[in-house]
Amino acid sequence: MEESVQIKIQADLKELKKVRKRLEVFFSECGVREEEIFQILLMVDEVTTNTIKYGYEGKHGTIEIQASCRENRVEVIIEDEAPPFNPLAYPSVDIEKHIQQGRTHGLGIHVLRTYADECQYERVLSKNRLIIRKHVGEKAKPL
């Protein structure tokens, strides 16, 4: 069984399907529970979608995703060369207010804060690097 997987995609929303599929297979092989895989895929999907839409803004670029599974911990590192953006610097969303306003977008950072046990942002050599860590195999956070 692989302990890690690396995926490199073009900044195109059509590429996300292959990311989801590859990560789903990888985490299944690692023994991660289905509900935890869902949470991880949702976080990765939110980050990569926002990078494509708002970071690259339709311009060419790449996104690199590295995922690893060790014991009861999953780590996903997402890197891109879009302009600097630290999602962790933004305030938490007031969900009640968000729903009352009828908003259906803008919850990517909330998803990260809800499902990740630890997040870290770095700007390294003109790249955004977001590190997401999640404990798995324990009692999962409710969906």
Question: Residues 50, 109: contact at Cβ < 8 Å?
Answer: no
* pTM: predicted TM-score of the whole model, two decimal places: 0.88
Q: Is the pLDDT of residue 143 over 60?
A: no
Q: pLDDT tens, 37-68?
A: 999 999 999 999 999 999 999 899 999 999 99
Q: Which residue has the higher pLDDT, 1 or 39?
A: 39
Task: Give the model's pLDDT for residue 58.
Answer: 85
Q: pLDDT tens, 75-85?
A: 999 999 999 99
d(CA 10, CA 6): 14
- What CATH topology corresponds to 4-135? Heat Shock Protein 90 (3.30.565)
Q: 74 forms bridges with which residues in the sheet?
A: 69, 134
Q: Is the pLDDT of residue 139 over 60?
A: no
Would you call 11 exposed, middle or buried from its count of C-beta atoms within 10 A (0-12, 13-18, 19+)?
Answer: buried
Task: Give the model's pLDDT for residue 142.
Answer: 43
Task: Give the model's pLDDT for residue 104.
Answer: 57
d(CA 129, CA 78): 6
Q: How many other CB atoms are found less than 10 A from the CB of residue 87?
A: 17
29: left (phi over 0), alpha (psi -120 to 50) or beta: alpha
d(CA 106, CA 93): 9
